[in-house]
Structure 1
Amino acid sequence: MFTSHLEEFIEEDLGYNDISCTIVPDKTQKAVIFAKENCILAGTGVAKEILDYFGIKYEQLFDDGDFLVAGNTIFELEGSAISILRAERLTLNFLGHLSGIATLTRKCVDLVSRQSKTRIAATRKTTPGLRRYEKLAVIAGGGDPHRFNLSDSIMIKDNHRNMMGLENAILEAQKRASFTQKIEVEVESVSDALIAAKMNVDIIMLDNMEPSEISDTISALQAEGLREHVIIEISGGISPANLNIFADTGADIISMGSLIHKSRWIDISLEVKE
């Protein structure tokens, strides 16, 4: 994290007249950060940057991606009592939010792994300003981060098709793409999937299709000898409740915005030692 970003977060939390943290004697204090429920841990990198900024010494007992049971200590701390209080909420917010994403991601990864080799991926439906951390939390949970930004790869979506037509959009993307960039096309029909595959795109996303439609589309690509040359991604309306049905369709990737925007914060706490 850039120091300027970290200081913006700290400024937001401390404000201009922090009395609550300064009423305690500024002596050396020990404390622990621990999980109050089972989870997959994420966000320790950000937590360490916050602790370093405030000059707090720490011992890290678990790493991102580790499974924690309620009561496990993540960090043992020692430092200025005032600094520990000032670092507390920001540190816990990141750990709780990111561990929630990692925990939901791991749940989905485990569900799918029981029946197929399909990979679980995130999307760009992230919290503005926090994308890099939320994507890293997906990785900690065993998922794929997908694109970090629009420059990572070229995705042709429904609005591109509506504005310039599918074939024109693909041709323009191919003309302007770097040799390092993949081209992905979002489609909603078998016919468009066949057009995209015949035009040698790298990835086809089957958007908001029912499981039977996905299977039919993949079968059509196989019949044309096109299936092995393209990555099939599916997305839209997929949740842990119906994930097993979509995992049986034969898709390579299942991308889920809900990994982030429907994850639940994990209860993580800081407690000073007497």
Structure 2
Amino acid sequence: MQFGNPLLLADIVRAALVEDLGRAGDITSAACIPAQRAATARLMARKAGRLAGLAAAEAAFRLTDERIRFTAHRHDGDDLAAGEAIATVAGPARAVLAAERVALNFLGRLSGIATLTAAYAAEVAHTRTRICDTRKTTPGLRALEKHAVACGGGLNHRFGLDDAILIKDNHIAVAGGVRPALRAAKAAAGHLVKIEIEVDTLDQLAEVIAEGADVVMLDNMAPGMLAEAVAMVGGRMRTEASGGVDLTTVRAIAETGVDAISVGALTHSAPVLDIGLDIAVDAAG
């Protein structure tokens, strides 16, 4: 699985390198390592998990020094065993070390998201329910983190406020209710824009069914109420469960028959997957 926009990727990785290299660059490597020294390194999985972020890691090395050769041994979306080699990096030793931390930060963070997403997806694999992400992402890294969710077997929810209408409880309160909010949204939406609305009671859901929407978000409902809500909808629109979701509850939520479950934890609480870089100075260096 490849990241879709190489221009966006380069901008994100470049910003991370600028942050890390600062005004003077890697003064440690410049002080300790001769400029002509070459090195070869391997990116290694220290723990088992799902790989994501390989393109970001490669970009970190290549943007630091175009002479670096990056050879991938695995692909985004692959499952990794502990101790498995992910890629080999070869080139000027100073540049390899200068890019190391940025490359590992992207790989560890994104692989952690993919690994957690894969765990959620496994819990619901016996159902037709799909796991979705949210907008609870690291500022500036949303596109990469949503790519990592896809690598883990999840689906991407909207990328931002501009690509779908999602009417939440605060919108409903300000608009004056479910029906006024939906009517206003339908009047404003383009013909390709979908409309989703959040409800937390069955009475609100009845209003949505009467008025019509593309998707209804069933917020913080217990499994019994969720099952009743799915039955009420009867396939008229897609159903999404949200709130109170973790690895201990997601199976029961999926078994209510909802189409999707959105999980903020995929991106805001995923532990980093431990990935390291093992380096060796070239014999000729």
| Shift, 1:50, TM fit | 1.5
Q: Please state if 1:255 is matched with 2:267.
A: no
Q: Which runs of 5+ in 1 are unaligned?
A: 222-226
Q: Please state if 1:167 is matched with 2:174.
A: no
Tell me how far apart the structure 2 counterparts of residues 249 and 155 of structure 1 sit (CA, whole Å): 23
Of 10, 14, 17, 1:10 maps to 17
RMSD, aligned CA: 1.2
The worse-fitting range, judged by mean Cα deviation, of 188-197 and 60-69 is: 188-197
| Shift, 1:4, TM fit | 4.4
Q: Please state if 1:52 is matched with 2:62.
A: yes
Of 132, 139, 156, 2:143 maps to 132
Tell me how far apart the structure 1 counterparts of residues 196 and 232 of structure 2 sit (CA, whole Å): 19
Tell me how far apart the structure 2 counterparts of residues 232 and 123 of structure 1 sit (CA, whole Å): 15
Check whether the contact 2:40–2:90 (CA below 8 A) recurs between aligned residues.
yes
Q: Specify the alignment match of 1:176 in structure 2.
A: 188
The worse-fitting range, judged by mean Cα deviation, of 120-129 and 49-58 is: 49-58
Tell me how far apart the structure 2 counterparts of residues 272 and 196 of structure 1 sit (CA, whole Å): 59
Tell me how far apart the structure 2 counterparts of residues 4 and 260 of structure 1 sit (CA, whole Å): 21
Q: Specify the alignment match of 2:102 in structure 1.
A: 90
Over 3 Å counting, the alpha-carbon distance change for 1:132 and 1:4 in structure 2 is: closer
Q: Please state if 1:21 is matched with 2:33.
A: no
| Shift, 1:5, TM fit | 3.7
Q: Which runs of 5+ in 2 are unaligned?
A: 1-7
Check whether the contact 2:185–2:195 (CA below 8 A) recurs between aligned residues.
yes
Tell me how far apart the structure 2 counterparts of residues 126 and 7 of structure 1 sit (CA, whole Å): 19
Over 3 Å counting, the alpha-carbon distance change for 1:45 and 1:4 in structure 2 is: closer
Check whether the contact 1:197–1:204 (CA below 8 A) recurs between aligned residues.
no
Tell me how far apart the structure 1 counterparts of residues 272 and 133 of structure 2 sit (CA, whole Å): 17
Check whether the contact 2:132–2:261 (CA below 8 A) recurs between aligned residues.
yes
Tell me how far apart the structure 2 counterparts of residues 126 and 258 of structure 1 sit (CA, whole Å): 9
Check whether the contact 2:14–2:63 (CA below 8 A) recurs between aligned residues.
no
State the TM-score, normalized to the length of structure 2.
0.91
SS at match of 2:158: coil
Of 250, 268, 276, 1:269 maps to 276
SS at match of 1:266: coil
Q: Specify the alignment match of 1:123 in structure 2.
A: 134
State the TM-score, normalized to the length of structure 1.
0.95
Tell me how far apart the structure 2 counterparts of residues 110 and 82 of structure 1 sit (CA, whole Å): 42
SS at match of 1:21: helix
Letter in 2 for 1:25: P
SS at match of 1:113: coil
| Shift, 1:20, TM fit | 1.0
Of 155, 162, 166, 1:144 maps to 155
SS at match of 1:152: coil
| Shift, 1:3, TM fit | 4.4
